[in-house]
């Protein structure tokens, strides 16, 4: 944290009484002061330090602030000075929100703004609160106290975050959406745990059709409202399946993904993990370096077929995940549409990569086609494919025995 500045403005600030702050709320926030008013910045800095709620504060000047590149560069709270009237402050606020949608931007101005159009523009830019200058110690303390409590609640909720599973196909057409749907349904039915399926498949989602759902909302609604997305709003966007599974439907239009920044997706997943015990993501065959943070905290089910194109792509995906520094222990190889004559090829894969097959889902074209046409999961009693989905789901959900992946010879490459 910045050291106490010896400016006259900072010296005039009285320290709050010890009883003003709950011990658990101390030192939980990071903050930034953006603006060129050196005297006002010094005053605000002293107040932030005296509250005891801010563990680190940085000061930004506009040229430096505009060089921010990722969510880690943006603190919890940004005090944005509007007094200079440069006209670029709201554009800067929009950039901050793109990088980190959860940032709390507080506009600071010498004016008591009452113009509805101005206030609406500020809110659309991502401004959440206003502080009038000169700063009032009580107002700053009250505002930071509220934000500190929110931060503490968020932290506590994150401690109990749900398990995250990413279902990823080595290429299009390997059945990753079918696998994701059936695993999620089996988890919801057998585990008794709150289970959610996120349809992140691109360019368009298949989950709703596979479950015969007609959702009122899709992924674009979560993306467009991410600045105000909370648990209540998130729940209202979900569709319910009769199995007990909740679903966030995928894209219905090609442009639905155009505003989906990495920070936006991470925010949606963060809320999902907070509200559900088990979260399954259907990624289709798409991911990129921007998804590194998501993949690092997921159990990845890499879906492939045992044919030549599928196994060739499998090697490439293992290399790509290694390049993203995903731990080998997080990657589980699932062979879809398996036949007994595939075993020779799978043994070769095990020798060359050191990665054993986690699960084999037998080929049952008739059953899968029938389930797809009717919009229902594969659930025929006694069917080996349905039994395979149930066994994998039980193991992943922690409700039954599963075969743990063997240590991979790629371990050093992945780590």
Residue 19's pLDDT is what? 39
Pair 309, 171: CB distance under 8 Å = yes
Domain 160-414: top CATH class: alpha beta
- pLDDT for residue 164 is more than 90: yes
With residues binned 3-state (H G I as helix, E B as strand, rest as coil), the percentages for the chain, rounded to 5, are: 45, 20, 35
Q: In degrees rounded to 5, what are phi and psi of residue 392?
A: -65, -45
CA angle 330, 172, 234 (to 5 degrees): 65
pLDDT band of 71, cuts 50, 70, 90: confident
Q: Poorest-confidence range of 19-23, 60-64, 67-71? A: 19-23
- State which CATH number among 3.40.50.2300, 3.10.450.50, 3.90.1150.10, 3.40.50.300 fits the domain covering 8-157: 3.40.50.2300
For residues 68-75, give the mean pLDDT.
80
User: How many CA atoms does the CB half-sphere of 291 hold within 13 Å?
Assistant: 16
Residue 200's pLDDT is what? 92
Q: Which residue has the higher pLDDT, 25 or 127?
A: 127
Distances (CA, A) of 351 to 332, 344, 348, 408: 16, 11, 5, 10
Considering just the CA atoms, what is the radius of gyration of the chain in Å?
25
High-pLDDT (> 70) share of the chain, %: 77
Residue 3's pLDDT is what? 34
Residue 16's pLDDT is what? 37
- pLDDT for residue 165 is more than 90: yes
Residue 408's pLDDT is what? 40
Residue 256's pLDDT is what? 82
Residue 26's pLDDT is what? 52
pLDDT, tens digit (0-9, with 9 covering 90-100), for 77-133: 999 988 766 668 888 888 888 888 888 999 998 887 777 788 888 888 888 888 888
Residue 44's pLDDT is what? 92
Residue 319's pLDDT is what? 83
Residue 155's pLDDT is what? 52
Pair 101, 226: CB distance under 8 Å = yes
- pLDDT for residue 143 is more than 90: no
List, by residue range, all CATH 3.40.50.300 domains of the chain: 160-414
pLDDT, tens digit (0-9, with 9 covering 90-100), for 280-321: 999 888 888 888 888 888 898 888 877 767 677 787 888 888
**pTM metric for this prediction:** 0.60
Structure tokens at 411: 């371990």
pLDDT, tens digit (0-9, with 9 covering 90-100), for 26-60: 567 889 998 888 888 999 999 988 888 888 899 88
Pair 157, 33: CB distance under 8 Å = no
Q: Give the closest residue to 397 by CA, choosing from 239, 181, 184.
A: 184
Alpha helical stretches, state H, 126-196: 137-159, 176-191
- pLDDT for residue 24 is more than 70: no
Residue 51's pLDDT is what? 81
Distances (CA, A) of 345 to 170, 310, 340, 352: 16, 11, 10, 11
Q: Which residue has the higher pLDDT, 147 or 196?
A: 196
Q: Poorest-confidence range of 66-70, 245-249, 326-330, 411-415? A: 411-415
Q: How far is Cα 86 from Cα 89, in angstroms, rounded to an integer?
A: 7
For residues 341-359, give the mean pLDDT.
73
Q: How far is Cα 381 from Cα 332, in angstroms, rounded to an integer?
A: 26
pLDDT, tens digit (0-9, with 9 covering 90-100), for 172-187: 877 888 888 888 888 8
- pLDDT for residue 2 is more than 80: no
- pLDDT for residue 259 is more than 80: no
List, by residue range, all CATH 3.40.50.2300 domains of the chain: 8-157
Pair 252, 218: CB distance under 8 Å = yes
Residue 390's pLDDT is what? 76
pLDDT band of 233, cuts 50, 70, 90: confident
Q: Poorest-confidence range of 138-152, 217-231, 358-372? A: 358-372
- pLDDT for residue 9 is more than 70: no
């Amino acid at each position: 944290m910045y050291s106490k500045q010896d400016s006259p403005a900072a010296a005039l600030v009285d320290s709050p009484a010890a009883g003003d702050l709950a011990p658990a709320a101390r030192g939980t926030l990071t903050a930034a002061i953006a603006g060129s008013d050196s005297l006002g910045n010094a005053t605000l800095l002293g107040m932030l330090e005296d509250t005891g709620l801010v563990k680190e504060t940085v000061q930004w000047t506009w040229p430096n602030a505009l060089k921010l590149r990722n969510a880690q560069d943006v603190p919890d709270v940004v005090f944005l000075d509007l007094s200079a009237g440069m006209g670029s402050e709201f554009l800067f606020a929009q950039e901050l929100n793109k990088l980190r949608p959860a940032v709390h931007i507080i506009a600071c101005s010498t004016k008591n703004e009452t113009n509805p159009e101005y206030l609406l523009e500020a809110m659309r830019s991502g401004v959440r609160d206003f502080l009038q200058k000169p700063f009032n110690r009580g107002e700053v303390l009250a505002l930071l106290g509220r934000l500190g409590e929110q931060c503490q609640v968020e932290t506590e909720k994150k401690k109990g975050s749900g398990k995250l599973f990413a279902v990823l196909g080595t290429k299009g057409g390997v059945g990753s959406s079918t696998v994701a749907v059936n695993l999620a349904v089996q988890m919801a039915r057998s585990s008794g745990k709150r289970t959610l399926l996120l349809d992140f498949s691109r360019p368009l989602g298949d989950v709703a059709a596979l479950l015969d759902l007609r959702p009122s909302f899709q992924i674009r609604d979560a993306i467009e409202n991410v600045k105000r997305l909370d648990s209540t709003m998130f729940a209202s966007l979900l569709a319910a399946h009769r199995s007990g599974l909740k679903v966030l439907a995928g894209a219905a239009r090609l442009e639905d993904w155009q505003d989906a920044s990495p920070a936006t997706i991470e925010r949606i997943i963060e809320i999902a993990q907070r509200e559900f015990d088990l979260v399954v993501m259907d990624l289709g065959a798409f991911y990129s370096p921007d998804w590194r943070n998501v993949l690092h905290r997921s159990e990845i089910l890499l879906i492939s077929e045992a044919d030549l194109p599928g196994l060739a792509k499998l090697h490439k995906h293992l290399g790509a995940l290694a390049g993203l520094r995903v731990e080998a222990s997080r990657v589980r190889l699932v062979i879809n549409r398996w036949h007994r004559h595939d075993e020779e090829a799978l043994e070769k894969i095990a020798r060359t990569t050191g990665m054993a097959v986690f699960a084999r889902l037998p080929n049952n074209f008739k059953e899968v086609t029938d389930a797809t046409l009717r919009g229902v999961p594969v659930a025929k009693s006694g069917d080996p494919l349905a039994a395979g989905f149930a066994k994998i789901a039980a193991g992943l959900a922690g409700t039954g025995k599963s075969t743990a992946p063997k240590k991979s010879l790629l371990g050093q490459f992945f780590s």
